[in-house]
Structure 1
Amino acid sequence: MLKTERHARILEHVSARGGINVNELSRLLNVSGATVRRDLQQLSRLNLLRRTHGGAVVGSLGPELPVQHRTDRCRPEKQAIAKAAVALVPEGAVVGMTGGTTVTEIARLLAARGPVTIVTNAVNIAAEMVLHKDVTLVVVGGYARTASYELVGPIAEKTLADHHTDMTFLGVDGISAAHGCTTHDQLEAATDRAFADSSSRTVVVADHSKIGKVTFAKICPLADIDHLVTDGAAPADQLERIADAGVPVTAVRPD
């Protein structure tokens, strides 16, 4: 297991349970206690958790995993979702893209496919796309969120209100029939909503861990979503409720 993947697993366990001890993590990750202690020390220095005697508890960032610790999580599923999502994009479309690891995979496939205009507030996506000669890149400015690599807030919302996209790919932290699309941060939610409002079509891309989940800040109701692309491991009952609410659902499996 790569160290980045191990760190992500540790943060997930600590976030889900509020705290965990070294022996439990050693068994869960199948690594030595010394390795776990080194990992916890590194994550503590980054303020991602707080070390305790014999373990760790949730740090000041709460339940949101920074994007660099989500890159390898469910990667085959995210790549399959991205492949299905790109098939929905017409040639020559202007495409809006929020932040997120799944949306990043979509951007890479679109850039490889040919000429496309991408409008994004994600600095990591912008940094990759600026190197592609077939990508016309528009970067939305704003306040930088280190957890998601996104530029958010009133500047971003004003820019989006003055532009129009044919399709937006929306990354979310949760989507459910009862609560719609949600994320961890209020400013990010408002900027994501502005992406949806400025687009002719909004497609949510979310791996199975986001389906049926509800987080702090509401982005928009399901009525504002035109399509959901997820993977086949998503809970069938949750997908059925979302489909019954009027959102077409595509569930794919990794190659």
Structure 2
Amino acid sequence: MLTVMLRSERHARILEHVSARGSVGVRELSGLLDVSGATVRRDLEHLSGQHLLRRTRGGAEVGTVGLEVPLQHRAERLLPEKRAIARAAAALVPQGAVVGMNGGTTVTEIARLLAARGPFTAVTNAVNIAAELVLHRHVTLVVVGGDARNASYELVGPIAERTLAGVHTDITFLGVDGVGAAHGCTTYDQLEAATDRAFAGASARTVVVADHTKVGRATFAKICPLTDIALLVTDTDAPAAELERISAAGVRTVVA
């Protein structure tokens, strides 16, 4: 049976591939996505128009260091893996706990599971997560203020950090863009990294949730060293050698 890739999924694959390679040609993308060159060119023009990449003769390139794929283009990628991670992570939360959550697609899945399960208090800087949780009467919702990032739907900066300095959470789930033994936890934006550090500092237990594409990877802005986190929850395709190095650094790993 022929499976047709959705346009949004093609865009996410293109952005991730360009981010990983730096530059890429139409022919290569056509083979990767199993679509015509004309379709690839239309996709590249669309993404270029949104300033997500830069068109070149015969392809596209990043144009800046560390292309961040916007949240709306990541929502459907690796969804079964992210939901498996979310189920394992949600099982760590006792009833009625105070739960910190930054943004990201995997953390969003955790929030949905917790909201469906029963009463808890959520502390989040992600406006998309807040918009879903506010509909549940049994969820006590604390939204951290700050400057809004349109790439991640998160509120970041000094206002967010001051708010987090005044709260304490039982457990915090951090979505990251990279996690590894060499560089710890990383993301693309410095303000976002500082806010994530504040989340970790306010929590009794910090759990990083990351699909296999993030494991062993490092991006621009450092959030924290591995010594600041208690647990990493990832999926079955995470590189075993890197998980061993992370475990050797004192972080428990759970493969969902």
The match for 2:119 is 115
**1:157-194, Cα deviation, whole Å (9 max, x unpaired):** 00000111111001111111121111111111100000
Q: Secondary structure at the match of 1:41?
A: helix
Q: Contact 1:227/1:247 (CA < 8 Å) preserved in 2? A: yes
The match for 1:69 is 73
- Quote the offset at 1:54 in angstroms: 2.1
- Quote the offset at 1:61 in angstroms: 7.8
1:1-255 correspondence runs (5 A): 1-59=5-63, 62-252=66-256
> Structure 1 stretches of 5 or more lacking a match?
none
- Quote the offset at 1:103 in angstroms: 0.2
- Once the two structures are aligned, what percentage of the paired residues are identical? 75
Q: Contact 1:47/1:61 (CA < 8 Å) preserved in 2? A: no
Distance 2:242 2:66 in 1: 25
Counterpart amino acid of residue 55 in structure 2: R
Distance 2:111 2:218 in 1: 26
Counterpart amino acid of residue 26 in structure 2: V
Q: Contact 2:186/2:221 (CA < 8 Å) preserved in 1? A: yes
Counterpart amino acid of residue 212 in structure 1: G
Counterpart amino acid of residue 83 in structure 1: R
Distance 1:217 1:161 in 2: 21
Distance 2:60 2:215 in 1: 28
Distance 2:108 2:28 in 1: 33
Q: Contact 1:48/1:60 (CA < 8 Å) preserved in 2? A: no
Counterpart amino acid of residue 77 in structure 2: R
Q: Secondary structure at the match of 1:169?
A: strand
Q: Secondary structure at the match of 2:69?
A: coil
- Quote the offset at 1:245 in angstroms: 1.1
Q: Contact 2:169/2:204 (CA < 8 Å) preserved in 1? A: yes
**1:116-160, Cα deviation, whole Å (9 max, x unpaired):** 111000011111111112211110000111111110000000000
Q: What is the root-mean-square deviation in Å for CA atoms of aligned residues?
A: 1.1
- Quote the offset at 1:74 in angstroms: 1.2
- Quote the offset at 1:20 in angstroms: 1.6
Query: Greater shift after overlay, 222-231 or 62-71?
Result: 62-71
Distance 1:163 1:60 in 2: 36
Residues matched between the structures, number: 252
> Structure 2 stretches of 5 or more lacking a match?
none
Q: Contact 2:146/2:160 (CA < 8 Å) preserved in 1? A: yes
